[in-house]
Amino acid sequence: MKTINAYKIISYILLPIAGFFGLMCVFMLFLAIANPSALIPVLVLCAVVVYIIASFIFLIKGIEQLKKCKPSLRSWIRITSYFAMFFVVSVLIQSITLLYKPSSLNAFIDQAIATQKNMNGLTTEFMMSVIKGVLYFMIFFSTTLLIHIFETFKFLKLYAGLFNKE
């Protein structure tokens, strides 16, 4: 029972983040059309959004209401969860590397400020604090998503009877 409540809380935390990332995916998709090399990260982010929404549907319909779910829902959850795990691992590695190696982050900030000379209010310290905040948020989101993925797999096994065709 405690696990289900924790799973619900994590699901409700992830849902608005998925909404924000979904909006980002729409705008990034237009950019990726112009630059095909950006298409893979956009598709991975879209898969994360689809995973969060599909697992939320499974939570509401399957776990809470104990209604039968389509087998395709389980397939959507499983397939997109692998992309979500790839996303989690890559974000964690990149975020931790940037936090523990601030020299590359400083070089990026200096280059960004140099190219934006008309933005007088931007300082290196301000940019560093914003980027660190984003990195800490992404670490929180990634670890929460990873916990959610593992719990979803447990619940998919536990509630496997909900996906039977009858």
Q: Each residue of 6-32: pLDDT tens digit? A: 999 999 999 999 999 999 999 999 988
User: What sign has the CA pseudo-torsion 49, 80, 28, 95?
Assistant: positive
Q: What is the DSSP letter of 63?
A: I
What was the pLDDT predicted at 119?
Answer: 65
- Position 142 scores a pLDDT of 97
**Structure tokens, 32:** 């990726």
Region 144-163: mean pLDDT is: 95
Q: What is the rounded distance in angstroms from the CA atom of residue 54 to the CA atom of residue 119? A: 42
1 pLDDT band (50/70/90 cuts)?
low
Confidence of residue 115 (pLDDT cuts 50, 70, 90): confident
Apex 3 CA angle, 63 and 142, nearest 5: 95
**CA angle, corner 129, sides to 27 and 144, nearest 5?**
60
pLDDT, residue 166, reads: 55
User: Is 139 within 8 Å of 92 (Cβ atoms)?
Assistant: yes
